[in-house]
């Protein structure tokens, strides 16, 4: 059974429609990439699935149940979101920030500390663990926020079905840490957690995701495996740029090159 | 990393509170010595002078100082949490300005009645009503169908504060010199009206605040990340904001009604505590209540003794005692890193 089923989703919380007729399915452990120009609705879709934006029409079903029926605490045990901007400017230590991700779970202090250790290692934040969050650079903060978010859905026993959503998680990261993000994603996905990543880095996404959803003006332009979706025609129509799509010399997966 | 283990600070302050209370009982324009003041508290004490001074004057006043300080300290910490702004102050939601206007109006309009215990009660009632009314207006202004915007609340608070200030000025323009002086004295804040009924009122509201606010510690920690982040951690953000505003309005309204506006405690006490033990609200809230109580107890004892038999306004002393301590903390810990 699919983990996430989105059908005919419309959202217009402030009048004009932010999302129009979105529909797709995501299996447990599958990774979905969201691409589209600025303002296409990627973040709106993430917030809508997370319950932060009301659904005007259509439905979102998660683990076989309409998400509107879920209580907030129950939802927080199963769905974790890394938003684009966090306004944290109080001097929590990095460890304290990551442990905030365990708030929804009553897993106990020792289990939470075990999660903390694993997540620190996976996100390469162990060297920052005692630093104050307010002293970190932009990229370091983004890694800590990633760590906090994955800590929320890290354990298989935390929820029957898990979903991790990352909204441009690697915008401020160096190339090595951009790879790290995808390794973390691969690791939680291999453990059965579904993942949605919004990003502008087509090549990084194409190398790892199972499905791509191309958005334009709040609507769904294309949905499918990267090989089917990443075509010169899509780039022409959606991003208004000419693009060549070549097979990657090593992996054979599609690779986007601007001429 | 915090300079001090949170539990140590809480333990230390817990031990310091009875000492500060005892000092407040012993010291004053008539110095009693610690033995006599302790003895005066025992039921067997004769109805002598020491017992009268301690029992009738100093004990209710010291209790009220500690309670008002606790309310201001914990309210300040909670407000800085929901506004995610270390510069937030309990007066930001308009409660202090509204209470000031309420009190001024009482002094100006009912000045023949303002004398003795009844007058003080009327004044307190006016201040409390003014404070609650101001918060209600601010809250309604910030409320939309999507939720309560803290940014709008902040701006509405500033607007209502300015409006209440202007109305207060108009009142003062038409007041006699006598009324004017009483208004300005009241504004400086003071605990000289303390008696057991008022201390009891303060005790009830303090108990409510100190028991209920810490239940939102985890929610406040999550809300420091941002409101949508807190929502995605399963926190009911709207309910948290609503209940915290109600509790803060109650306790600050009560403290202004009983002791006038005492600046500085609500803003700086949570900062001092955060500098020492970090921003985790599970420790910050109780420790701020304790630190506020300690600061106001010490400040009021100084206010009574430094220029005895005259008295300084306690707000002046809280600033004079607190600011040097705060500045030295800031200088020692440059990595505080607020932005």
Contacts of A78 (CB under 8 A, 6+ apart): A62, A63, A153, A158, A159, A160, A161, A162, A163
At residue A244, the 3 state secondary structure works out as strand
Looking at CA atoms only, how far is residue B79 from chain A in angstroms? 14
Decide: residue B169, CB within 10 A, 0-12 exposed, 13-18 middle, 19+ buried: exposed
Contacts of residue A103 in chain B, CB cutoff 8 Å? 218, 221-222, 233-235
The predicted-structure confidence for A13-63, as pLDDT tens digits, reads as follows: 888 889 999 999 999 999 999 999 998 999 999 999 998 888 999 999 998
Which residue of chain A has the CA closest to B335? A135
Q: Is the pLDDT of residue B2 over 70?
A: no
> Rounded mean pLDDT of B219-237?
93
The answer, yes or no, to whether the previous bond of B309 is cis (omega within 30 of 0) is yes
> In chain A, how many H helices and how many E strands?
9, 12
CB distance from B279 to chain A under 8 Å?
yes
In the prediction, which pLDDT does A162 show? 94
* Distance in angstroms (rounded) separating the CA atoms of residues B239 and A229: 44
Q: How far does the CA of residue B11 sit from the closest CA of chain A (Å)?
A: 22
With an 8 Å Cβ cutoff, is B222 touching chain A?
yes
Give the separation between CA A252 and CA B177, rounded to whole angstroms: 89
B200 vs B203: CA distance, rounded Å: 5
pLDDT of amino acid B39: 67
Name which of B85, B231, B232 to mutate to probe chain A: the one with the most chain A Cβ atoms within 10 A of its Cβ. B232
Per-residue confidence (pLDDT) for residue B265, from 0 to 100: 87
How does the average pLDDT of chain B come out, rounded? 84
3-state secondary structure of A163: strand
What is the complex's ipTM, to 2 decimals? Answer: 0.91
Subunit contact A91:B337, Cβ cutoff 8 A: yes
CB atoms within 10 A of CB A190: 9
Q: Encode chain B in three state secondary structure.
A: CCCCCHHHHHHHHHHHHHHHHHHHHHCCCCCCCHHHHHHHHCCCCCCCHHHHHHHHHHHHHHHHHHHHHHHHHHHHHHHHHHCCCCCCCHHHHCHHHHHHHHHHHHHHHCCCCCCHHHHHHHHHHHHHHHHHHHHHHHHHHHECCCCECHHHHHHHHHHHHHHHHHHHHHHHHCCCHHHHHHHHHHHHCCCCCCCHHHHHHHHHHHHHHHHHHHHHHHHHHHHCCCHHHHHHCCCCHHHHHHHHHHHHHHHHHHHHHHHCCCCCHHHHHHHHHHHHHCCCHHHHHHHHHHHHHHHHHHHHHHHHHCCCCCCCCHHHHHHHHHHHHHHHHHHHCHHHCCC
Could you say which of B84, B221, B336 has the minimum Cβ distance to residue A87? B84
CA distance A127 to chain B (A): 14
- With an 8 Å Cβ cutoff, are B231 and A100 in contact? no
How confident is the model over B192-226, as pLDDT tens digits?
Answer: 778 888 889 899 999 999 999 999 999 999 999 98
CB spacing of B226 vs A87 below 8 angstroms: yes
Taking any CB pair shorter than 8 Å as contact, residues of chain A touching chain B are: 13, 47, 50-52, 72-77, 79-81, 83, 85-93, 96-97, 100-101, 103-104, 130, 132, 134-135, 148, 152
Q: Which residues between 129 and 148 in chain B have a beta carbon less than 8 angstroms from any beta carbon of chain A?
A: 146
pLDDT at B338 > cutoff 50: no
* CA Rg value for chain B: 20
Residue pair A53/A10 in contact (Cβ under 8 Å)? The answer is no
Nearest to A83 among B222, B229, B279 (CB): B229
Full-model pTM: 0.89
List CB contacts (< 8 A) between A135 and chain B.
335, 337
Which of A201, A191, A194 has the alpha carbon at shortest distance from A230? A201
Mutate to test the interface with A, among B234, B236, B240, B334 (most CBs of A within 10 A): B234
Residue B49 predicted with pLDDT over 70: no
pLDDT at position B148 over 90: no
List pLDDT tens digits, range B245-280.
889 988 988 888 888 888 788 888 998 898 889 999
B84 Cβ under 8 Å from any chain A Cβ = yes
Q: Dump pLDDT digits (tens) for B278-333.
A: 999 999 999 999 999 999 999 999 988 888 778 888 888 888 877 887 787 777 66
Asked if B232's CB is within 8 angstroms of A52's CB, the reply is: yes
Q: Summarize pLDDT for B158-172 with one digit per residue, the tens.
A: 999 999 999 988 988
- Matching residue, tokens 């969201």: A34
Statement: residue B45 has pLDDT above 60: no
Instruction: Measure the CA–CA gap between B171 and B155, rounded to whole angstroms.
Output: 24
B50-107: pLDDT as tens digits? 677 777 788 999 999 999 999 999 999 999 998 888 777 888 888 888 988 998 888 8
Q: Using CA atoms, how far apart are residues B250 and B208, in angstroms rounded to an integer?
A: 9
Which of A74, A83, A103 is closest, CB to CB, to B222?
A: A103
Residues of chain A predicted below pLDDT 70:
none
Shortest alpha-carbon distance between residue A38 and chain B (Å): 21
């Amino acid at each position: 059974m699919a983990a996430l089923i989105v059908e005919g989703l419309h959202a217009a919380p402030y009048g004009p429609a932010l999302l129009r007729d979105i529909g797709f399915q995501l299996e447990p452990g599958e990774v979905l990439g969201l691409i589209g120009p600025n303002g296409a609705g990627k973040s709106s879709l993430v917030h809508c699935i997370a319950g932060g934006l009301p659904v005007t029409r259509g439905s979102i079903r998660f683990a076989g149940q309409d998400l509107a029926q879920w209580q907030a605490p129950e939802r927080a045990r199963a769905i974790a979101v890394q938003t684009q901007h966090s306004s944290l400017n109080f001097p929590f230590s990095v460890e304290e920030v990551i442990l905030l991700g365990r708030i929804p779970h009553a897993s106990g202090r020792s289990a939470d500390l075990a999660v903390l250790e694993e997540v620190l290692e996976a996100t390469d934040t162990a060297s920052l663990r005692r630093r104050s969050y307010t002293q970190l650079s932009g990229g370091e903060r983004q890694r800590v926020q990633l760590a906090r978010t994955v800590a929320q859905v890290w354990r298989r026993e935390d929820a029957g079905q898990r979903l991790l959503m990352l909204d441009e998680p690697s915008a401020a990261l160096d190339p090595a840490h951009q790879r790290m993000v995808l390794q973390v994603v691969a690791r939680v996905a291999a453990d059965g957690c579904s993942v949605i990543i919004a990003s502008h880095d087509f090549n990084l996404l194409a190398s790892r995701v199972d499905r791509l959803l191309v958005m334009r003006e709040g609507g769904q332009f294309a949905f499918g495996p990267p090989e089917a979706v990443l075509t010169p025609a899509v780039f022409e129509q959606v991003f208004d740029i000419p693009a060549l799509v070549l097979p990657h010399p090593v992996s054979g997966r599609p690779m986007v090159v601007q001429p | 990393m915090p300079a001090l283990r949170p539990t140590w600070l809480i333990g230390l302050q817990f031990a310091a509170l009875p000492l500060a209370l005892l000092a407040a009982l012993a010291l004053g324009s008539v110095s009693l010595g610690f033995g006599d003041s302790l003895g005066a508290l025992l039921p067997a004490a004769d109805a002598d002078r020491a017992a009268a001074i301690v029992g009738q004057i100093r004990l209710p006043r010291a209790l009220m100082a500690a309670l008002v300080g606790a309310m201001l300290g914990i309210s300040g910490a909670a407000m800085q949490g929901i506004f995610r702004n270390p510069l937030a102050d309990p007066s930001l939601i308009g409660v202090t300005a509204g209470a000031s206007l309420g009190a001024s109006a009482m002094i100006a309009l009912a000045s023949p009645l303002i004398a003795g215990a009844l007058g003080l009660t009327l004044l307190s009632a006016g201040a409390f009503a003014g404070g609650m009314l101001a918060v209600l207006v601010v809250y309604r202004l910030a409320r939309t169908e999507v939720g309560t915007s803290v940014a709008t609340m902040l701006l509405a608070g500033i607007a209502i504060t300015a409006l209440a200030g202007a109305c207060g000025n108009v009142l003062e323009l038409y007041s006699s010199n006598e009324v004017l002086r009483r208004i300005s004295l009241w504004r400086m804040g003071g605990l000289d009206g303390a008696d057991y009924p008022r201390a009891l009122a303060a005790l009830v509201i303090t108990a409510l605040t100190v028991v209920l606010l810490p239940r939102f510690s985890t929610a406040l920690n999550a809300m420091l990340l941002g409101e949508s982040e807190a929502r995605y951690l399963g926190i009911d953000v709207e309910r948290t904001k609503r209940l915290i505003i109600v509790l803060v309005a109650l306790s600050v309204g009560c403290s202004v009604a009983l002791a006038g506006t005492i600046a500085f405690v609500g803003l700086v006490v949570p900062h001092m505590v955060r500098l020492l033990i970090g921003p985790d609200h599970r420790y910050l809230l109780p420790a701020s209540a304790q630190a506020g109580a300690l600061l106001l107890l010490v400040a009021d004892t100084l206010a009574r003794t430094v220029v005895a038999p005259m008295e300084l306004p306690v707000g002046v002393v809280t600033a004079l005692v607190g600011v040097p301590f705060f500045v030295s903390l800031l200088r020692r810990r440059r990595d505080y890193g607020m932005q």
